[in-house]
């Protein structure tokens, strides 16, 4: 950051719980101005505290222009671990403009005794593997990922997403529209009630309710590995650590709220 004594302007790339928590904490810090950015994918997004802008920037150059025009002093990429394009753009644009960037990335999940996990590198491999593991599948990979399972006719799918998925879709699909947080009791009841054989999830990290429920019921889980963070990027695992990074780089007295 610039180290100047006037307000420091922070751009938080959000769309996650951590993005909202960081924005909220930043608004409580004197001398720190926060602007949150959302992609605009959901029709009724949970809005962070403070200023919010919505919509893409127009690639790396568009984001670089935005950083210059808005006189941004620091960027925190708090997007979802699978929003790899946005993260790559943030890394390139911040380097272009000379603005410090922190990637706030919650840790991935860690396998526990009793888990029956199958780690796969991508959605296509998950789709290939599924018929060998069971017929009734609970898909929690997000609505944009459901198309990857469109050709898997051997399986029946229950998908859960905030917004309805778009074509192409699996032939045998029941759509459940819901937004977390989800509880262990709720996940257990959902898996049992739909007689689910196998759970599919991205390694998003965060709440383990669905994984705990799958373990209790002895169900296999197909876990899609997360894409890597750009090499050389500063990474913080928690909102608290991101606040500390902001405090280290700025003149403001940043107190976690
Ligand atoms: P993505 O594939 O990495 O990004 C595609 C494009 O969407 C980016 O190049 C950018 O457009 C725009 N974009 C993405 N995030 C943005 C943001 N926070 N503010 C402004 N523009 C943004 O992203 P995605 O996977 O579709 O995710 C979109 C949003 O949903 C992210 O904010 C992410 O945190 C949230 N989300 C994603 C997932 C997931 O599984 N991928 C899950 C939960 C929430 P331009 O190139 O035009 O700038």
Spatial CB neighbours of 229, under 8 Å, sequence gap ≥ 6: 87, 103, 105, 235
pLDDT of residue 1: 53
- Ligand 1 contact via 56 beta carbon (within 6 Å): yes
- Ligand 1 contact via 245 beta carbon (within 6 Å): no
C-alpha closest to that of 23 among 82, 78, 72, 92: 78
| CA atoms of 218 and 226, how far apart (whole Å) | 24
- Ligand 1 contact via 41 beta carbon (within 6 Å): yes
pLDDT of residue 34: 97
Does pTM top 0.85 for this prediction? yes
Exposure of 247 in the CB half-sphere (CA atoms within 13 A)? 16
* Distance from residue 114's CA to the centre of ligand 1 (Å): 34
- Ligand 1 contact via 40 beta carbon (within 6 Å): no
pLDDT of residue 248: 87
Ligand 1 atom closest to the Cα of residue 89 is 9
The Cβ of residue 53 has, within 10 Å, a number of other Cβ atoms equal to: 13
Please list the pLDDT of the chain residue by residue as tens digits (257 residues): 544 457 899 999 999 999 999 999 999 999 999 999 999 999 899 999 999 999 999 999 999 999 999 999 999 999 999 999 999 999 999 999 999 999 999 999 999 999 999 999 999 999 999 999 999 999 999 999 999 999 999 999 999 999 999 999 999 999 999 999 999 999 999 999 999 999 999 999 999 999 999 999 999 999 999 999 999 999 999 999 999 999 888 534 433 33
For residue 239, give both structure tokens.
Answer: 């909102």
Residue found under tokens 């943030």: 90
Nearest residue by C-alpha to atom 6 in ligand 1: 86
- Ligand 1 contact via 229 beta carbon (within 6 Å): no
Q: Which of 83, 142, 206, 228 to mutate to test the pocket of ligand 1 (most atoms within 8 A of CB)?
A: 83
Please, are residues 81 and 52 in contact by the beta-carbon 8 Å criterion? no
């Amino acid at each position: 950051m610039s180290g100047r004594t006037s307000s420091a302007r922070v751009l938080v790339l959000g769309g996650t719980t951590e993005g909202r928590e960081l924005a909220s904490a930043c608004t409580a810090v004197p001398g720190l101005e926060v602007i949150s950015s959302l992609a605009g994918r959901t029709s009724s997004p949970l809005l962070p505290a403070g200023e919010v802008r919505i919509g893409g920037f127009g690639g790396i150059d568009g984001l670089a222009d935005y950083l210059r025009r808005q006189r941004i002093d620091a960027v925190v990429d708090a997007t979802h671990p699978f929003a790899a394009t946005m993260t790559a753009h943030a890394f390139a644009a911040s380097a272009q403009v000379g603005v410090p960037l922190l990637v706030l990335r919650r840790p991935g999940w860690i396998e526990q005794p009793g888990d029956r996990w199958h780690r796969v590198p991508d959605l296509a491999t998950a789709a290939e593997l599924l018929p060998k593991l069971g017929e009734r599948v609970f898909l929690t990979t997000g609505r944009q990922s459901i198309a990857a399972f469109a050709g898997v006719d051997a399986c029946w799918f229950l998908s859960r997403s905030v917004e309805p998925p778009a074509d192409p879709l699996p032939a045998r699909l029941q759509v459940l529209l819901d937004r977390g947080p989800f509880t262990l009791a709720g996940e257990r009841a959902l898996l049992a009630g739909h007689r689910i054989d196998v759970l599919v999830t991205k390694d998003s990290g965060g709440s383990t309710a669905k994984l705990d429920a799958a373990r209790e019921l002895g169900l296999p889980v197909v876990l899609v590995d997360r894409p890597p963070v750009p090499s050389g990027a500063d990474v913080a695992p928690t909102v608290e650590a991101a606040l500390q990074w902001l405090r280290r780089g700025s003149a403001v007295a940043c107190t976690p709220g």
